[in-house]
Amino acid sequence: MLEVGQSTWRHLTLAQRARLLGRLHATVSASAEEWADIAATSKELEPGHPLRGEEWLGGPYAVLTALEAYRTSVRALAQGESPLARVRTDAAPGGRLCARVFPLTAIDGLLLSGYSGEVWFEPGVTEAEARRNAGLGQLTPTTPAGVGVVLGAGNVSAIPVLDVLYELMASNRVVLLKVNPTQDALLPVFERALAPLIEPGFVRIVRGAGDVGAYLTTHRSISHVHITGATPTFDAIVWGPGANGERRRRANRPLLKKPITAELGGVSPIIIVPGEWSTADLRFHAEHVVTMRLQNSGHNCIAGQIVLLSADWPQREAFLDALRVAYEAAPRRSAWYPRSDEKLQGAASDYPDASWCADGTRALIEIGAGDDATALETTEYFAPILGVVSLPGTGQEFLDAAVAHANEKLTGTLGANLLIDPAAEAALGDGFERAIADLHYGAIAINSWTAFGFLIPTLTWGGFPGSTLQNVVSGMGVVHNALLLDRVERSLTRGPFRPLPRSVSALAGPGRFSVLPKPSWFVTSRTGATVSEGFTRFRMDGNWARLMGTLVQAFRA
């Protein structure tokens, strides 16, 4: 059926594809409430739990915004215009081109006030080249690319659907999606939500364990493999399992004979740049760090795992005190992902002096002088485990040391986070942007969290370029990328250091003004579930009256 669908797909005009994306928006909207409910329940979040909003944002919201963005790009191409035509570009450090890809609409600027997103191209890419090549597979829509298999992630429900959309839009590949066993309960929802793609044979969805995935990757009808998961799974697919697979890897004799792309995880840093922070700043960003670790119970490929802190910051102890309080106080929930118990036990074994918080369900590991941070820096725990590593210096000296430490000591290149107050950033000047350029991660979040970049469809998502089959690090290739940009190096998000009302100070000095109080995705937001659902429903139906009620709830966070 997919081979027939491949022929049909290549005969669709760009205008027809845009209308198809509109139909998908309707079917995803119709499935959204059930989608979010099943996803939350499968993660042991019962009705009324304050964290159920995570499943609205990480499920239907992410897909709806992606569909809107892809449809805008395809419509532009259908009219003979580049998806980048109305996007402002300027220079970035190191001979790079920067495209300011968020916000592009007034509603984005309202719902995510004070936040912005940008894409940095590889050094040497010109503005003319970037605009000319924007569109990828949709520039040659009649050229077939075969059938791809997507091995779906099991932690965030939007990921497999977003990966399917990217295969179709960026590569003109029809898709066989194998859902992860953790999402089997969502299979009927996915089938209804993606019915406009399934009925004509553009997508097929199957379920099964690892043996099914292994069979599909080697099937003669499959021309391309995409996986979101962990490095060991990638290596088993490419080289084969066990000792034989390792021998093939060393000899560069891959078992897989077809192209593969992958989004894999890593150990994500949270760099705290020293500055003069108020008590409210310390408390807010302690909750920010806790959110980076505990959202989805830590089962995120870009969950912040290591706080890089200045040993010479006068407010170091005050920040750590605020972090300990916030880590203990965050809402309780279970570590639901398979093998989480093993990860928690491994951390307990590696660091017997760790502090166990929230009735022993989450660990805070503070590396002291003479302690070995190797396990913390090289193991993606994928569980509620947060570490703190101290480095010498302040100002530019500390920032450069933290960047070097992240690049050289931490496993992975998927996402890095930096928190810096506006005065400190202004004092660093060009040195700050140079340090960002030196930070080799595919997603960088400044006063935001890299998951924010995951949710913005016009940004790219993937590890830093340069990975190989033998050393895949955090993956190969990118996804999301709804502007269909070519030769992208990384994506950045920037947010307000202070929420409303303290963001008002940015109107008369450095920093970013925001009309938002505590963001709805903070695990400590009192109204996060209500606001996240409300934002999703607005993406579904554009009901401004109901949105006003949601914004009122946002101010009660």
Calpha distance 29→537 (Å, rounded): 8
Q: What radius of gyration, in Å, describes the C-alpha atoms of the chain? A: 22
Give the largest Cα separation in the chain, rounded.
Answer: 66
Set out the domains of the chain in order of their start, with CATH numbers: 2-229+231-264 (3.40.605), 266-448 (3.40.309.10)
Spell out the per-residue pLDDT of the chain, length 557, in tens. Answer: 798 899 999 999 999 999 999 999 999 999 999 999 999 999 999 998 989 999 999 999 999 999 999 999 999 999 999 999 999 999 999 999 999 999 999 999 999 999 999 999 999 999 999 999 999 999 999 998 999 999 999 999 999 999 999 999 999 999 999 999 999 999 999 999 999 999 999 999 999 999 999 999 999 999 999 999 999 999 999 999 999 999 999 999 999 999 999 999 999 999 999 999 999 999 999 999 999 999 999 999 999 999 999 999 999 999 999 999 999 999 999 999 999 999 999 999 999 999 999 999 999 999 998 899 999 999 999 999 999 999 999 999 999 999 999 999 999 999 999 999 999 999 999 999 999 999 999 999 999 999 999 999 999 999 999 999 999 999 999 999 999 999 999 999 999 999 999 999 999 889 999 998 999 999 999 999 999 999 999 999 999 999 999 999 988 87
Closest CA to 362 of 343, 378, 380: 343
- The three-class DSSP label of residue 264 is strand
Closest CA to 451 of 358, 387, 378, 519: 519
Calpha distance 141→399 (Å, rounded): 45
- The three-class DSSP label of residue 364 is strand
Calpha distance 50→47 (Å, rounded): 9
386, 304 contact by CB (below 8 A): yes
Q: Under 8 Å CB-to-CB from 141, ≥6 apart: which residues?
A: 10, 12, 13, 14, 17, 172
- The three-class DSSP label of residue 482 is coil
Calpha distance 251→245 (Å, rounded): 10
Residue 461 CA: distances (Å) to CA of 344, 488, 554: 28, 10, 27
- Residue 395 parent element (H or E): helix 395-409
Calpha distance 176→178 (Å, rounded): 7
| DSSP code at position 182 | G
pTM of the model: 0.97
377, 293 contact by CB (below 8 A): no
Kindly state the tokens that stand for 479.
């996804």
| Strand ranges for 367-525 from DSSP E | 385-391, 415-419, 443-446, 460-461, 475-476, 479-480, 488-494
